[in-house]
A = this chain, B = another copy of it.
Amino acid sequence: MTPPGNDTQAGIRRRNLARVLQAVAAHGPLSRPAVAARIGLTRAGVAPLVDELLRAGLLVESGPAAPRGRGRPGSELVVSDRGPAGLGAEIGVDHLAVCAIDLRGRIRARAAVGAANRNSTPGPVLERLGELLAEVTGRIAAEGLRPAGLAVAVPGLVARGGTTVVHAPNLGWRAADLAPGLAPVTAPAGSPAVPLTVENEANLGALAELRPAGADGGRPGPPPDFVHVSAEAGIGAAVVVDGQLLRGARGFAGELGHVPVYPDGRRCDCGGRGCLEQYAGEAAVLRASGAAPGRAGPGARIALRARRAADGDPATVRALEEAGTALGIALAGAVNLLDPRAVVLGGALAGLAPWVLPSLERELTLRTAVAADPARAGGPLVTVSRLGADGPLLGAAHAALRGVLDDPLHSCAPADSPPVRTD
């Protein structure tokens, strides 16, 4: 019998290259012995792997470290700030955004525009997104970076593992394959193809929360069992269990916006009644607070609502409190079902937390007594994302680098050298 593919020589080598690169990305600078200790290989086993990653330009030496203990001083390793870049893109209901990060997780370029995407067709939206992507890739090329992947965040359901938006109600898109429209970016003439990922924006927001804490200087992220809630026009959630996204049988998990909160309540566009989105979605909050939808991007609208709430505008404060109540009811269901370690408010909700949290936490405490009792200290911990509205875009950029981190040499041969075969 053939052994399983991941136990072949080539498979083991690929996995070990990935482990070295991931260890340095998450915890660098690291000496070679420190890398060996972290991943459980011998120093002799690590040395050729490091050499290959140095030759490929994925790792660089940070200069000799200060001698410590016995043995010769060795230089320390860091991931390169040149070479592969992850391109993240976000298609919002009224904005488009693009950013590029390097292997260190630093944002190297970004661009965003307001855009009336609601009920537009995918064609012109992707064309405009392509222009932003071209602008960003042009800027990073000047700094020695090349796109190693593109991930696009969309406010809708995406077929698991595919590039097709199955349904994005707030864009009015159905069965829209984004691959053809993004071909100018993903299949550029004369350059290597750029792998494309399309993913629900709440899932990418959660992935951004999950990325290695070391990548941006050691700030700890939330624990690896959490429900991440984000909102723009709609409301989405991502469920993370043991550090892994729960995607659902078809990839459609996380539709928190259509969890029923008042079963005999307002009609929803989905055909249901009393869905969370009808009480805590953007349109509902704007309506309740008496604000006009306007054309400003979501950042501007959130800032406006936050300013009004901070000024004590009664209608705005009441609307956000009602949104918090509805969110608390829906999340009580999620907490009873999933027993997560934390609930993280991300996306646009992060900026509105001061006004949404009190009523949200009141409902959650009232309605999770059995699940919470008695071992949990003070009920489920609701936290606010440190990334705010940028989460999905950053998560997309990180997802775009995933291929390099999982298979460093295969995904990422420099364009000017022959591809390195690993199988």
The chain A residues found within 8 Å of chain B, CB to CB, are 1-4, 36-37, 40-42, 157, 159, 166-167, 169, 174-175, 223, 225, 237, 239, 241, 246-263, 270-273, 275, 329-330, 332-334, 336-341, 363, 366-371, 373-376
B259 & A370 in contact (Cβ 8 Å cutoff):
no
| Residue in chain B with minimal CB distance to A265 | B263
A244 to chain B, nearest CB (A): 9
Query: How far, in Å, is A265 (CB) from chain B's closest CB?
Result: 10
Question: Is the Cβ of A253 less than 8 Å from the Cβ of B338?
Answer: yes
Complex contacts, A370 vs chain B, CB 8 Å: 157, 167, 169, 255, 257-258, 270
Min C-beta distance of A136 to chain B, whole Å: 32
Q: Determine the chain B residues whose CB is within 8 A of the CB of A263 once the complex forms.
A: 261-262, 329, 363
**Among candidates B225, B255, B260, B374, residue contacting A371 with C-beta atoms closer than 8 Å:** B255
> A253 touching B337 by the CB < 8 A rule?
yes
Q: A172: shortest Cβ distance to chain B, in Å?
A: 13
CA–CA, A174 and B373, complex, Å: 10
A278 CB → nearest B CB, Å: 12
Which of B37, B174, B248 meets A339, CB within 8 Å? Answer: B248
Contact of B255 with A337 in the complex, beta carbons under 8 Å? yes
- Residues from chain B with Cβ under 8 Å of A259 in the complex: 332-333, 336-337
Q: Would you call B329 and A366 a contact (CB within 8 A)? A: no
A367 CA / B276 CA spacing, docked (Å): 11
> Given A332-B272, A333-B333, are A367 and B1 neighbors across the interface (CB < 8 Å)?
no
- Closest residue of chain B to A253 (Cβ to Cβ) is B339
20 contacts between A and B (CB under 8 A): A1-B40, A1-B42, A2-B40, A3-B40, A4-B40, A167-B370, A225-B249, A239-B337, A246-B338, A247-B339, A248-B340, A250-B339, A250-B376, A252-B371, A253-B339, A255-B336, A258-B371, A259-B333, A263-B329, A272-B367
Which of chain B's residues have a CB closer than 8 A to the CB of A247? 339
Q: Is the CB of A373 within 8 A of B338?
A: no
Is A252 a contact of B339 with CB atoms below 8 Å? yes
> Separation in Å of the A16 CB from the closest CB of chain B?
13
User: 5 closest pairs, A vs B, by CB?
Assistant: A248-B339, A249-B341, A255-B336, A259-B333, A253-B339
Partner of A338, one of B159, B239, B376: B239
Tell me whether A332 and B260 are in contact (CB under 8 A).
yes
A275, A329, A336: residue with the most chain B Cβ atoms closer than 10 Å: A336
Does the CB pair B159–A375 fall under 8 Å?
A: yes
Report the separation of the CA atoms of residues A246 and B275 in the bound assembly, to the nearest whole angstrom.
25
A246 and chain B: residue at smallest CB distance: B241
Q: How far is the CB of A45 from chain B (nearest CB, A)?
A: 9
Partner of A250, one of B36, B275, B330, B375: B375
Contacts of A252 in B (CB 8 A): 339, 371
Q: Would A366 and B1 count as touching, CB distance under 8 A?
A: no
Nearest residue, chain B, Cβ from A7 = B40
B251-A339 in contact (CB<8A): yes
- Rounded to whole Å, the gap between the CB of A257 and the closest CB of chain B is 8
A1 to chain B, nearest CB (A): 5
Q: Complex formed: what's the CA distance from A225 to B252 in Å?
A: 13
- Residue in chain B with minimal CB distance to A373: B167
Indicate if the CB atoms of A237 and B337 lie closer than 8 Å: yes
A3 proximity list for chain B (CB < 8 A): 40
B258 x A336 contact (CB < 8 A): yes
Residues of B within 8 A of A270 (CB): 369-370
Contacts of A375 in B (CB 8 A): 159, 166, 250
Chain B residues near A41 (CB-CB < 8 A): 1
Q: Is the CB of A248 within 8 A of B338?
A: yes
CB closest chain-B residue, reference A225: B249
Cα A188 to Cα B36 in complex, Å, equals: 48
What CA separation (Å) do A270 and B223 show in the bound complex?
27
Instruction: Point out the residues of chain B lying under 8 angstroms from A40, CB to CB.
Output: 1-4
Most buried by B among A248, A249, A262, A273: A249
Assuming A4-B40, A258-B336, is B366 touching A271 (CB within 8 A)? yes
